Structure formats: C-alpha cells, structure tokens
Amino acid sequence: MTADCPAVRILLADDHPIFRMGLRSLIEQDPELLIAGEVGGPLELTEWLHSHPCDLLVTDFMMPVANQADGLRLLEYVQRYWPRLPILVVTSLLNPGLFRAMLNTGVRGLIGKGSLVEELPMAVNQLRRNKLFIARSVTHVLMASGENRINRLFEQEPLSPRELEVTRLFAAGLSVGQIAAAINRSKQTVSAQKVTAMRKLGVPSDAALFIYLQEHHET
C-alpha cells in the first residue's frame, strides 16, 4: 500500500471469534487490505460504524442480540445510515427467499461459509471495485428456486444491440453514470435502456439481472 493507494479498511462482524480469526487470516493475505475492526454483534457493529471510518463491511447474517436476531433489519439500518458502504454477507444459510431479501436491501455481495477459501478473496476484490459479487453456491440456490424464469432471454422480445451493450457494462460493475460516460450517452438514456432490458428479460431487480448475466457467462 502507498500514500496514493491507501489500504481498504474492513470491519469484520461475526459472533464466533474463531470464525472471525479465519476471515482475518484470509483477508490479510492481501497487503492492500486492512482489518480496521472486529465486532461480535449488531449493537457493536452499529456503534463501531458511528465512530470509525470504514470502506467495506464483511458480516454474518445471523448474530443474536437480546431476544431477536433480525439480520434484515440490521442490513437495512446499515444501508440507511451508510448507503455508500459496500456490504458482503457471509452466511451458512441456503434460503433463496432470504438471499433475495438481502439483495433487496442493497447488499453488494453474498457468499457461503463453505466456499470462503475459494471465493472470499474474489468477493472482497469485486466489492472494493464497486462490483456486485454473488457466489456460485448462492446463484445455484436462487436459480433452482425460481430465478430460472429469467432463462427466457430472446424467447420473446430480443434485446437491442444498445440494450445488450448497457447490460454487459452493468455486469462489469459500472454504474449508470459510468456507463453513460463510457458510451457517450445521457444517464437518462442509459437508465431507460437498462430498465427496458430488464423488462424484456423478466428480471425484477439489479441483483436478478446480474445473476442472469453471471449464469450466462456475460460477466
């Protein structure tokens, strides 16, 4: 790391200290990443964020607190107060409904605890570049549970060349503003083309669009 390229500050959140040690050891293999803090529960997490700068949150979904363990409420809270903070959820759950709900809160990454060694470095690298990361295991659960309806690409109305261009740039991690600058179109035009493409594909959200493109090797 250099003064021109400071380390990415990461907060780890999990109620199992040994698991946090494992996360830390994997992340610290990259000298450009810095574990800025560790917390063991939702209250500690939010208190820490209110007091410290952070570039990326890596968190478990289920961390018991008091008499409830509402991971979705925690994610919504973090998104409300730190909307620009990328969140990577690490979980052992295999519930497609919860996966969709997490993505709908604005979570940028989902990864299973069983694939950390293979996918955690890739996930962190994607999120630090403002890209979405959905682990293969999560993608398979979502597709098997009904997201495969998005396989109907081109069975009805095909995407136009410009719509294909926009969706592929989106899959590469570019925002609407970045896509507009890259292809010399207005943000309004790019946004409209992206919305039209999603309607044609039958995908309801940015996350579902990304899953489709990932499954069809468009990323």
pLDDT of residue 86: 94
At residue 145 the predicted structure's pLDDT band, cuts being 50, 70 and 90, is low
At residue 13 the predicted structure's pLDDT band, cuts being 50, 70 and 90, is very high
Asked if 111 contacts 119 with a C-beta cutoff of 8 angstroms, the reply is yes
Beta bridge partner(s), residue 57: 11, 87
Residue 69 has pLDDT above 60, yes or no: no
Could you please state the CATH topology (level 3) that the domain comprising 149-215 is classified under: Arc Repressor Mutant, subunit A (1.10.10)
Q: If you average pLDDT over residues 56-72, what whole number do you get?
A: 74
Select the more confidently predicted residue: 205 or 181: 181
- C-beta atoms surrounding 135 within 10 Å: 22
pLDDT of residue 5: 60
Q: Among 26-35, 45-54, 132-141, 154-163, where is mean pLDDT lowest? A: 154-163
Q: If you average pLDDT over residues 132-154, what whole number do you get?
A: 67
Per-domain boundaries in the chain: 8-144, 149-215
Asked if 193 contacts 162 with a C-beta cutoff of 8 angstroms, the reply is yes
Q: How far apart are CA 139 and CA 147, in angstroms?
A: 9
Q: If you average pLDDT over residues 151-180, what whole number do you get?
A: 75
Give percent of the chain above pLDDT 90: 26
pLDDT of 86-111, one tens digit each?
999 998 888 887 888 888 888 889 99
DSSP state of 88: E
Q: Going by CATH, does the domain composed of 8-144 fall within 1.20.5.510?
A: no
Residue 27 has pLDDT above 80, yes or no: yes
pLDDT of residue 66: 47
pLDDT of residue 71: 82
| Sign of the alpha-carbon torsion through 158, 180, 205, 11 | positive
Q: How far apart are CA 113 and CA 10, in angstroms?
A: 18
Strand blocks (E) in 26-152: 33-39, 56-60, 87-91, 109-112, 133-134
H/E stretch holding 13 reads strand 8-13
